[in-house]
Amino acid sequence: MKSISIGLVGLGTVGAGVAKLIKSRSSYVRAKYGVDLQLTSICDLRVDPKLVKSLGKVNVVKNYNEILNDPAIDVVVEVIGGVHPAYEIIHGALEHAKHVVTANKAVISSYGQELFRYARAKGRSVYFESAVLAGVPVIKTITEGIAGNRYNALFGIVNGTCNYILTQMSQNGLSFDQAVKMAQEKGYAESDPSLDVNGTDSAHKLAVLVALAMGKFLKVKEHIYTEGITEIGAEDFKYADELGLAIKLLAIAKKNDGKVEARVHPTLIAKTHPLASVQNVYNALLLEADALGDVLLVGQGAGQMAAASGVFSDLINLALANDLVDRTWIGDNPEEFEVLELRPMSEVEVEYYIRLMVIDRPGVLSKITGILGNEGISIASVTQKAVSKNMAVPLVMLTHMAKESSLRKAIEQIVKLKETKATPVVIRMERL
């Protein structure tokens, strides 16, 4: 029977779930896998005494260095979130020749290449399945499950909070603020939900996915165009529904002509596509694999046990793989394996949904279509949702394929028209 000693750093929501699984499933893991997972030490500034008592004999410390310096600990589990001191904890664990399991997408997206190189030099592994889509095995699928495939594109609903908010706005007609409040009440959103609703969380996860699937390490702030869901109104869901479309916050990466584009933004997709049916806190990832074809993975992307499940699976897989001398996990590849340039967002071409609030006067539509035409943008359809000579009315337009730079130039000119009475809402479309 192989025994693995674990040091857990962070006993918050995810950490508590991990501790519960180690305690409750220990006999099951011993019987099925021949591995004895022992939670030896926990580090947190504040712990729940009842939870700690339920875990049995476990050492509780407030300084993570006590775990890093403990020669009896084989694996450090980092689940505190954020970049610092999480980076220092992971690096310190590797420095002390310990394997690492983390659920931290911010650290992996920011420092993954460096940490993977250091892990390889130390003959250790960094496991991070829960960094993307919680316990849904997307990372294992990409690197091992369908190894040998090349990925031409990926489309992900990778933030459970945003998907819950958009679902409530779509199905129940809630405003953005109302949907956020409901998400907070249910524990799906933080008191400050900025990193979720502004797209940052999704961008971190997309960086991880692009590194694994396309072999390109991206810097989140510099290389990934990121746009959140704060500007979408309840009326946009109504108009989208009339057009047979759904609105999702998608993390998108495409590879063609030796270039890769990476972007996060609200996206209109056909209501008939499987991604459109992914609701509430569920997440999904659609992979376009060249040999196998399309692969769709769906599961809960938020919640204590969803994330804890991925960490727990990593611990089991790490324990089993560790029988090989100096074995590092295939996902810990520190080198770029494709020569790809980054396609700037300005060069990306998609179709667009544009909602304008304009004064209903003769000649206004011709002004707007003229501006779009001068920028090389052709109109697929136009719908005026109301008629009023004195008040602004919504004008909804769909375009054919157009370059992002051209669309931005056109919007800058449309905003300056005296008939335009609000900032236009622009949502990109993808035909999946």
State the pLDDT at residue 322.
60
d(CA 32, CA 343): 47
Residue with tokens 């394996």: 337
For the chain, helix (H) and strand (E) counts, in that order, are: 16, 18
Two tokens at 20? 């519960």
State the pLDDT at residue 325.
47
Q: Among residues 85, 99, 153, 132, which one has the least CA distance to residue 332?
A: 99
109: burial class by Cβ within 10 Å (0-12, 13-18, 19+)? buried
State the pLDDT at residue 301.
83
Neighbouring CB atoms inside 10 A of 411's CB total 20
d(CA 105, CA 135): 13
Strands 245-256 and 259-270: antiparallel
d(CA 167, CA 301): 14
Walk along the chain (432 residues) and give the pLDDT tens digit of each residue.
689 999 999 999 999 999 999 999 999 999 999 999 999 999 999 999 999 999 999 999 999 999 999 999 999 999 999 999 999 999 999 999 999 999 999 999 999 999 999 999 999 999 999 999 998 999 999 999 999 999 999 999 999 999 999 999 999 999 999 999 999 999 889 899 999 999 999 999 999 999 999 999 999 999 999 999 999 999 999 999 999 999 999 999 999 999 999 999 999 999 999 999 999 999 999 999 999 999 999 999 877 899 999 999 999 999 888 654 456 777 898 999 888 999 999 999 999 999 999 998 889 999 999 999 999 999 999 998 776 666 889 999 999 999 999 999 999 999 999 999 999 999 999 999
State the pLDDT at residue 64.
98
Domains and CATH numbers, the chain: 2-131+305-321 (3.40.50.720), 139-302 (3.30.360.10), 349-429 (3.30.70.260)
DSSP 420: B
Helix, strand, coil percentages (3-state) for the chain, rounded to 5, are: 40, 25, 35
d(CA 130, CA 101): 9
Hey, what long-range contacts does 196-199 have (CB within 8 A, 24 or more apart)? 196/159, 196/161, 196/162, 197/161, 197/162, 197/165, 197/228, 197/229, 197/230, 198/226, 198/228, 198/230, 199/159, 199/162, 199/226, 199/227, 199/228, 199/229, 199/249, 199/264, 199/265
The residues annotated with a catalytic role in the active site are: 205
d(CA 384, CA 240): 14
Strands 126-127 and 99-102: parallel
